[in-house]
Structure 1
Amino acid sequence: MTPGAAGFAGRSAGRDPWVLLICCARVFLFANFMVLAATLPVLMPAWGIGAARAGSIITSFTLAYALSLFATSWLADHFGAKRVALASAWATAAAALAFGFGARDYLSAFILYGLAGLMQGGTYTPVVMLFAERFAPQQRGKAVGWLIGSTSVGYAGSLGIAGLGLSLGGWQTAFALSGLLPAAGAALLTAVLWRQANTIHARAGALNLRRVMAASADARRLIAGYTAHSWELLGMWAWVPAFVAANLAQGGWAIAGASGLAAYIGAASHIAGAGASLSMGTASDIHGRRKVLLLVAAACALLSFSIGWMVGATPILVVPLVLAYAFLAIGDSAVLSTALTETVDPAWLGSVLAVRSLLGFGAGAAAPLAFGAVLDAVGGSGPLAWGLAFASLGIAGALAAWFAFRLSDGTRRG
């Protein structure tokens, strides 16, 4: 148990104003996260760019975000999680403003969206460390579930803000609205954390990161499982809207209407993801981390291997399956994070999270490209192409289940 956690061992995370306010702050901080994905159909003709260049803007954000997670996790070990989280929040707000009012063509968007990703990482892993400091293990899964759930709500909110901006004044308005809101999140996070102590955990002099990792097989398995989980999750997020649009189009919908409805279903899938993070985090407190990780990863892999073959099925069947898929794909995220906080010495948690973030989001950045390569290689938009493309995600899901199965008895209880 980390220092100070004992005082919160009996407190429900869902009734702790500290948790709720931090979650609200993160919803605002993620307001620009999905704005580019939501506006791409409008930006491509407006800027005269093709799909590859459009996708490269998102790739610049994702890779910069991975580097940011790595750097801010390492910095949190050395300068304290609170200090890094607050600095990152205000940097995120500044970068969001720069993108919202400065991105007006491909090159400016590529640079400024990448800058936004580079500032964002400290609003995630250092905050996980703050939650680990505050909550004892019997409450930590639920607490981290609230944290990860707020990310999903932030994604859904970002899509909603972008849609509102598009309807009010086009992509420029969408950019501006999403650029303004992160400042409110930074202000709220500052108000919540301002009087909180900035903890820097002492390290044993004989240890280094290599020895810390070598000493814990479970830490290595959790990082490997997270990497596989990230491949499946980010690949799913990137391609499910197009899959739903293809399903609706095969059912007779016009492509414009199908794309619009698919975007709303995408937002709904992130809301489902928020429920998954909270419920699975809570379940892991009751039934154990290992059991929940294994069941969720196996069920998600099963859907990855099967859903693509249903592209021609009725949307009445496909849409609920997509929502279930979204629920399961992120359902193990909070549990993976919680288990790692319980496996690693707090003095080294930031450095271990840095390694995990680089590997996980590196895999997550590659997954959409691999998925698209399978679609192009098979050709067409029928069940074979979609089935094999989603199977490329299912392989990673099966690996995540295997690494969960290999966890030791120490992770079986929450």
Structure 2
Amino acid sequence: MNRQLLLCLSRAGTCMGTMAFAGALPVLRSAWHMDAATAGSIQTAFNLSNAFALLVTAWLSDSLGAKRVYLASTWAGAAALMIFAIFARSPHTALPLIVLVGLTQGGAYAPALLLIADLSPAAERGRRMGQILAAASLGYLLSVSLSMWAASTYGAAAGFAICATGALAGAVLGQIGLKGVENRRYHHEPSVSSEPIRWRAVFGPTSLCLLVGYVAHCWELLGSWAWTPTLLATALRPCNLGAMTTSLIVGGTIHLSGMIATGVVGALSDRWGRARVLICVGAMGALCSMLMGWSEQWGAGWVIALVAVGSFFILADSGVLSAAMTDEVPAAYLGRVMGVRSILGFGVGAFAPMTFGATLDWTHRWGWAYMPLAAGGIIASLAALALRKSSQSIDAESNQSQSSIVDKREFERT
């Protein structure tokens, strides 16, 4: 079977644990007697542990190899989810256990991207990055849908157990898909290990624009992923739909459009340029975030439509930002740079669900709660605009330098 397909299926299975708590949240808030701030703090704990794991495993991927780190994380992720399913029975027990889940879920993210970057030619990197992120979105879709349905029908533990089974399947498929792939370790290359990484050289103007854009993207994305399932479930409640129908609508609306977005927009960035695509999707994501919360007062149809469109644009820049960073950073330093990027992006974004929950408790309006998330989209779009100007400036300097060399050669001939 095609290795890219196996890796995509592996990511889909592994990511079934990421949205398990968010999917069950509409049920858990009443079952565990949680206010919005408490629910948001549990999701924030997951995101913070996820961010820490992203840093550590991205860093270790340089010295231990991305393949080894990815496989270890996927197997550990399946075990952590099963432990969470068995022992999480209240906010107090869920909080430490979800930290364990976050550590293992985050551990597979950066190594997967590094593997794709290593196995893909530069001309196809955006498309293949988009495919692996689209596969992750499929896992999120299954996670939200199955967790919400099982929690509503059989209890939250059943939903968590189903997600753990999917993560186990992902670990098995990853083991098969990476069979025969070299576990490349840059730490043992003398030319690299003898020279410390020069952070100022690596994080030039272009990389800094990408870093700011990624942090803003994570803020908007993590806040939306944590709370949009509950917004949809709230909007659909008057429709008196069954648990299965509601869960499918919620999961499909949020993550099906995101799955399409990463594949399509990643390919478009290969053709049209990274900066141009990032400007457009950042601005559209911010606009949709502004409208999604207020649509709760307009009826379920408006909520579904705006969430579908918003989810498309909020996730669309994920693969493009990753592909652009791999274009800029030397392969020997990529793991460490991705680790720094991940801890900043997911570390800042970790507080978005808690900020959202606190705003919702304070204002009792979904519209106001989404406004802090929209700020992330605005900043991401501005960072992409700065990226485009920086790239144009670098290209102009390069052309001027080449022109000077040509003029000098012509002068010497005369």
TM-score, normalised to structure 1, is 0.85
1: distance between equivalents of 2:142 and 2:193?
43
Q: Which one has more relative contact order, counting CA pairs under 8 Å at least 6 apart?
A: 2
Match of 1:62 among 23, 38, 47: 47
1: distance between equivalents of 2:373 and 2:88?
33
Which residue identity is paired with 2:378? A
Which residue identity is paired with 2:197? N
| 1:265 has 2:249 as partner | yes
Q: Which digits, 9 at most, give the CA deviation of each residue in 1:183-218, with x for residues without a partner?
A: 22111111111321011234274442523434x221
1: distance between equivalents of 2:250 and 2:71?
30
Q: Could you say if the C-alpha distance between residues 325 and 60 of structure 1 is closer, same or farther in structure 2, counting changes exceeding 3 Å?
A: same
**Aligned residue for 1:219?**
207
Compute the displacement of 1:354 (Å): 0.8
**Aligned residue for 1:409?**
391
Compute the displacement of 1:137 (Å): 1.9
1: distance between equivalents of 2:200 and 2:154?
55
Matched residue of 1:406: which SS? helix
Q: Are the aligned partners of 1:100 and 1:180 in contact in 2 as well (CA < 8 Å)?
A: no
1: distance between equivalents of 2:245 and 2:153?
18
Compute the displacement of 1:308 (Å): 3.5
| 1:316 has 2:298 as partner | no
Which residue identity is paired with 1:325? G
1: distance between equivalents of 2:153 and 2:353?
31
Q: Are the aligned partners of 1:209 and 1:352 in contact in 2 as well (CA < 8 Å)?
A: no
Matched residue pairs, number?
387
Q: Are the aligned partners of 1:242 and 1:259 in contact in 2 as well (CA < 8 Å)?
A: no
Compute the displacement of 1:297 (Å): 0.8
| 1:230 has 2:230 as partner | no
| 1:285 has 2:267 as partner | no
Gaps of 5+ in 2: 396-414
**Aligned residue for 1:160?**
145
Q: Are the aligned partners of 2:37 and 2:354 in contact in 1 as well (CA < 8 Å)?
A: no
| 1:400 has 2:400 as partner | no
Bigger radius of gyration, 1 or 2? Answer: 2
Q: Could you say if the C-alpha distance between residues 288 and 316 of structure 1 is closer, same or farther in structure 2, counting changes exceeding 3 Å?
A: same
**Aligned residue for 2:176?**
191
| 1:37 has 2:17 as partner | no
Q: Which digits, 9 at most, give the CA deviation of each residue in 1:67-113, with x for residues without a partner?
A: 10010000001111111111111111221222222333433322222
Q: Could you say if the C-alpha distance between residues 132 and 307 of structure 1 is closer, same or farther in structure 2, counting changes exceeding 3 Å?
A: same
Q: Which digits, 9 at most, give the CA deviation of each residue in 1:207-253, with x for residues without a partner?
A: 42523434x2211110110001111112222232344455556xxx2
Match of 1:76 among 46, 61, 74: 61
**Aligned residue for 2:197?**
208
1: distance between equivalents of 2:19 and 2:361?
25
Equivalences for residues 289-368 of structure 1 within 5 A: 289-368=274-353
Q: Could you say if the C-alpha distance between residues 34 and 309 of structure 1 is closer, same or farther in structure 2, counting changes exceeding 3 Å?
A: closer
Gaps of 5+ in 1: 1-15
Q: Are the aligned partners of 1:99 and 1:116 in contact in 2 as well (CA < 8 Å)?
A: yes
